[in-house]
Structure 1
Amino acid sequence: MFARAAIRSFTRQSTRTALFYTTETAPATPQLLLRIKADVKVAMRAKDKERLAVVKGILSDLTYLEKSPQAPAQVTDSVIQQLIQKSIKKRQEAALSFAGAGRQDMADQENKEAEMLKVYLPQAMTSQEIEAEVRRVVKEQGATNAKDMGKVMKELGSLDPARAPKKDVSDMVKKVLAEL
């Protein structure tokens, strides 16, 4: 009986020691995720139910994304920002539907929630900044017509999709290439 207790004790201690001295590091938590979790606490303390519902919704979407088969290898700030952009887009589309159905109160609510989410996104690039970047890449690649769009878009893939949405970049590439 004493031997079993000693083995259990040794096993617990060695497990603790192994965890403490392990060389494996956990992936860093994205700063945006930490900010969102802190905002949940702030909203709870302030009893701000609307903000709390919106922020918890983002955390729920993130949890769903992490458990889905299409989950990225590592959740980064950029992944979270893309998730927030999708959520904003859904709310804007819902607001348009509500406004079309004569439910302005619901449309206003959806727009308000979209504005709450925009706080978590970085400053978006203006269309002039996107155009300047597109023109620079077109010049570097020597693109002359619409057939070269793939080369240009591949090079522009390094742009942060949270700052410059892919659709806006694609539209600008089409416009610039059409002008050539």
Structure 2
Amino acid sequence: MSLEERINQDIKAAMMAKDKVRLEALRAIKSAIQLAKTEGEHKDTLTPEMEMKILQKQYKQRKDSAEQYSQAGRQELADKELAEAAVIEEYLPKMLTEDELKEELKKIIEEVGAKSPSDMGKVMGVATKKLAGKAEGKAMAEMVKKLLANGD
């Protein structure tokens, strides 16, 4: 079953359950998928990787919005965004824990032969491809910076 089919089924279930937050999040995903299918050279077909990128973008948007709402003192809007992010997260692959991320990054650092913080670009290039969907870019960058600085 494709992601789009799964989303459509879950939209129906959310409608029946009258789950407003879940329904809004799922409709946003569906809308993003439809938009992606109508633009670019890959019309009407999306690879699983493209679908994951769409989900990650939707998830990141919700997290960023929630953070901005919190800073502005609008907790009710931040909570809504976080609830939608939780729904989207259900469709993403399991994220790596901090320890798992550290181990993966150590392997990549060894693989590319990085020795100093100036090699961060090499490491991040490989890491973002290998760990796509399993770790946030910001967390990867911070961990790579620490590992290259300390030589852990």
Bin for the TM-score computed over the shorter chain:
0.7 to 0.9
- 2:137 pairs with 163, 166, 176, which one? 166
Change (3 A) 1:103 1:171: closer
Shift of 1:131: 1.2
Counterpart CA distance in 2 for 1:111 and 1:128 is 25
Aligned to 1:130: 101
Counterpart CA distance in 2 for 1:156 and 1:56 is 31
Residue 114 (structure 2) pairs with residue 143 (structure 1): yes
Stretch moving more, 170-179 or 156-165: 156-165
Shift of 1:52: 1.7
Residue 80 (structure 2) pairs with residue 90 (structure 1): no
Aligned to 1:156: 127
Counterpart CA distance in 2 for 1:101 and 1:143 is 41
Question: Which structure would you say has the larger Rg?
Answer: 1
Shift of 1:65: 2.0
Structure 2 unaligned blocks of 5 or more: none
Amino acid at match of 1:162: G
Change (3 A) 1:104 1:46: same
Counterpart CA distance in 1 for 2:105 and 2:81 is 33
Stretch moving more, 49-58 or 78-87: 78-87
Contact 1:98–1:106 (8 Å) recurs in 2: yes
Contact 1:78–1:161 (8 Å) recurs in 2: no
Aligned to 1:105: 76
Amino acid at match of 1:114: A
Shift of 1:167: 3.0
Structure 1 unaligned blocks of 5 or more: 1-29
Contact 1:130–1:164 (8 Å) recurs in 2: yes
Q: How many residues align?
A: 151
Counterpart CA distance in 1 for 2:49 and 2:30 is 15
Shift of 1:116: 1.6
Could you tell me the percent identity over the aligned residues?
35
Structure 1 residue runs of 4 or more that deviate by more than 4 Å after TM superposition: 70-74
